[in-house]
Every structure is written in C-alpha cells, then in structure tokens.
Amino acid sequence: MGTYAVYAESPRRGMCAVGMRVWIPALAGMTVISSTAVCLLLSSLRRRPESRHAGRIGWIAAAIAALLLAAVLGALPAAAQSPTLDSVKKRGQVVCGVNTGLAGFSAPDDRGNWTGLDVDFCRAVAAAIFRDARRVRFVPLNAKERFTALQSGEVDILSRNTTWTMSRDTSLGLNFNGILYFDGQAFMVRRALGLTSAEDLRGASICVQSGTTNELNLADFFATRGFSYRPVVYERLVEVLAAYANGRCDAFTTDSSQLIAERSRLPDPEAHLVLPDFISKEPLGPAVRQGDAVWANIVRWTLFAMINAEELGVTQRSVEADRTSSNPEIRRLLGTEGNYGKALGLDPDWAVSILTAVGNYGESFERNLGRDSPLKIARGRNALWKDGGLMYAPPVR
C-alpha cells in the first residue's frame, strides 16, 4: 500500500486550506477525513494559544483529530495478513487441488511424480513461499468434487483445468486469479465419419462429462442452431472415454487441450480428429476461496511473475545473473530494487524462487504442452500479447 502525506497549511489564515493527500486505496472515501484530522492535529499542536479559550479549542481539535486518526489507522489492514498463508506456513506445505490425470496439465507418473502446467503453477506458489518447490501436496479431484474441496478448505488452491465463469467466481464463494491457459471447447470424432466441422454434428450423440462447463456449452451450441442431438453424460472421465472408445457416441466434447491430450492416449490417435471449431471460451485459471485477499494476491502475482518474466526474457537459467540486470523492470521483478514481496508476506526475491523452480510462463508451457512435450500444442492464443497472443500481465511497480 502506498501511503504518503503532503502537508501544507495556509500561511495567511493558519488553517488547513491547502490540505494533504493520504493515498489509501482500500479507504479512498476516508482520505478527506484523515487529511483534515492530521492537519488539524498538527496545526493545533503548533499554534500558540492567544487566550485560555483559544487554547481549549486547540486541544479539543487536537483530541478529535487524534481520535479520527486512530479510527482511520485502526481500519487499515495490517500488512500481509492471510489466514491461508499462516496455515500453509504452519503445515509446511501448499495443498493444491489438481486433475486426476490430464496430460500436459496434471498427471502423476508411475512413481507418483506430478507434472504439467497446473502442477508447475502449484510448485511456483510453494517456491514463492518456502523457496522450495517441493513443499506442495497434490490432491487429485474430479470435475464434481473440485469446488467442494476448495470451499471446505481441503485444498488451498484449485489449479485444475478449471474455467473461470461468473457463477463460479461469485456465487460459489471462490475467486479466480488470472488465466493460465486460454482454451475453448471443441469436438473429437472418428476420422472415418468424414466430418469437417462442428456444424456437421446435427443429430449426433455426444459424450460429455457432467459438472463441467462443457455440458452447458453443448446444450447452448445445439439450441442456438435448432439442431437435435443426444447427450451421453457420465460423471467420471474414464466412463466418458470408455463410451467414446466403444462407439456409444459419435463425438466426445471437452476443452480443446484436453481432447488433444486424450486423443494421444487412444490406441490409434490417427483414427481420431479434433474438429477445428471452438464453441466456447474456456479461460482456465487458478482459484482460491473468497475472503483472503492476500492469499489471492500471492496466487495472482505468482502467475503474473511468470508471464512478466517471459516478457522480460528472464528464464530459469538466466534468473540468477539477471538479478544484477540494469533494466529497472527486471530489477523490481527480482527484488533487486524495491520490496514488492512484502505486501504479499513474502521475501523480496520471491519471484527469483518461482523462476528458479519452474521457469517463466513460456518455459513451463513448452515443457508441458508445447514443442518440448509429446502434445506439441502451438502457443496460439497463449502466446504473449507482444507476439500476437493474449498473455498479458500487469507490471511490477
């Protein structure tokens, strides 16, 4: 929080004429009271009483001013108070809700080591807090149980290919904190059907998982076109995949990235085609419980640090040397200049820990989903804004 004061008393009238500015973002409406209060306090303490009467007025003004000031300061949040951060530190671990197994986002190997973009993000938060990306426990959650797990406090963050929608962000008691992957819903079909577009699916049977945005978008897509279709709905992904594999539906619909991931696991991926149309916006991002603004800031700025680092050319390999960069934006991000971690309850070099652990956004993307992964997904919308994509983070300053 930037709080500063500029005091100027009118020399002619000896009153609080010019005033002062106290910038308290959370208490914008109280700045007038506080400026008047501090001004009165200072002027009454400074002015010599010309009579007993005047002196008494001066002290009354001072007392009122002091009370107002105390009220304002009392209303200020103490720096970086976060019940979630406190319990994470006490536990020594971040508990992160992730997908049960989705290649590229969060999937465990035979030894229980998790990898993926969502997994990297959890590790990045752990690194920012503990300087140790291993201090995280992954809790696999299916589509239905994910929100209850976050609401109930079973997990600290939900980082599980979850679409940011208005109802989830408002009435579920959750808050989303940025977009980790810009996705869109698509369809996968057997190549042998000879379909080329989603518009060709009139009258088709479509497999979809319940508890997802996909189920709702599917209904919208056919309703707006006046097409008939037959939804084949299951609660668990394994059931959806088995139904599609056994030919119980003509198409499988979910987020495009998931279709690419699931297609790669089918016995003959080449026999299946992901149709090019996106029928929805699926902005996937990490969510936290409402009511802990500092925790939300930690999660949000972890993501922004990864995106800003890519934009500034700071990589996992270069980060240590970049601490002494002459670029002020890099110096602020890495804590060489200023202390931007303080208001998050973190060390000044919180972002160095993130970048050392998982690299910048682009590095994590390429490793998990892009050219260095089996999925080979193009950056597309997930490229930086300066490269024609949508990835954009507010500056550290």
161 vs 308, beta carbon nearer ligand GSH: 161
Q: Is 102 in the site for ligand GSH (CB under 6 A)?
A: yes
Residue 165, Cβ density class (10 Å: 0-12 exposed, 13-18 middle, ≥19 buried): middle
Q: Is 325 in the site for ligand GSH (CB under 6 A)?
A: no
Q: Is 100 in the site for ligand GSH (CB under 6 A)?
A: yes
Q: What is the rounded CA–CA span in Å between residue 293 and residue 299?
A: 10
Q: Is 159 in the site for ligand GSH (CB under 6 A)?
A: no
Q: Is 188 in the site for ligand GSH (CB under 6 A)?
A: no
Q: Which of 85, 98, 143, 377 binds ligand GSH (CB under 6 A)?
A: 143
What the block records as the tokens of 359 is: 């690299």
CB of 396 to ligand GSH, least distance (A): 29
CB of 139 to ligand GSH, least distance (A): 12
Total residues binding ligand GSH (CB under 6 A)? 18
DSSP H or E stretch at residue 165: none
Helix (H, G, I), strand (E, B) or coil at 259: helix
Window of 9-17, 161-169, 287-295, 303-311 that interacts with ligand GSH by CB under 6 A: 161-169
Q: What is the rounded CA–CA span in Å between residue 99 and residue 245?
A: 21
CB of 306 to ligand GSH, least distance (A): 20
What amino acid is encoded at 365 in this protein?
F
Q: Is 292 in the site for ligand GSH (CB under 6 A)?
A: no
Q: Which of 34, 106, 161, 368 binds ligand GSH (CB under 6 A)?
A: 161
34 vs 99, beta carbon nearer ligand GSH: 99
CB distance 156 to 288 below 8 Å = yes
Reference 205, options 162, 234, 238; nearest CA is 234
Q: Is 282 in the site for ligand GSH (CB under 6 A)?
A: yes
Give all strands of the β-sheet with 230-234 in edge-to-edge order. 230-234, 205-209, 251-255, 185-190, 272-274
Residues facing 230 on adjacent strands:
205
Q: Which of 209, 217, 302, 360 binds ligand GSH (CB under 6 A)?
A: 209
Measured at the CA of 134, the angle between CA 174 and CA 296, to 5 degrees, comes to 20
CB of 101 to ligand GSH, least distance (A): 7
Window of 3-11, 63-71, 73-81, 155-163 that interacts with ligand GSH by CB under 6 A: 155-163
Window of 64-72, 98-106, 356-364, 377-385 that interacts with ligand GSH by CB under 6 A: 98-106
Which segments of the chain are extended strands (E)? 94-99, 107-108, 114-115, 136-141, 157-158, 174-176, 181-183, 185-190, 205-209, 230-234, 251-255, 272-274, 282-284, 287-289
Window of 14-22, 187-195, 209-217, 346-354 that interacts with ligand GSH by CB under 6 A: 209-217
Q: Is 256 in the site for ligand GSH (CB under 6 A)?
A: no
Q: What is the rounded CA–CA span in Å between residue 332 and residue 395?
A: 10
What amino acid is encoded at 103 in this protein?
A
CB of 140 to ligand GSH, least distance (A): 7
Task: List contacts with ligand GSH (CB under 6 A).
Answer: 99-100, 102, 142-143, 161-163, 209, 212-214, 237, 254-255, 258, 282, 284
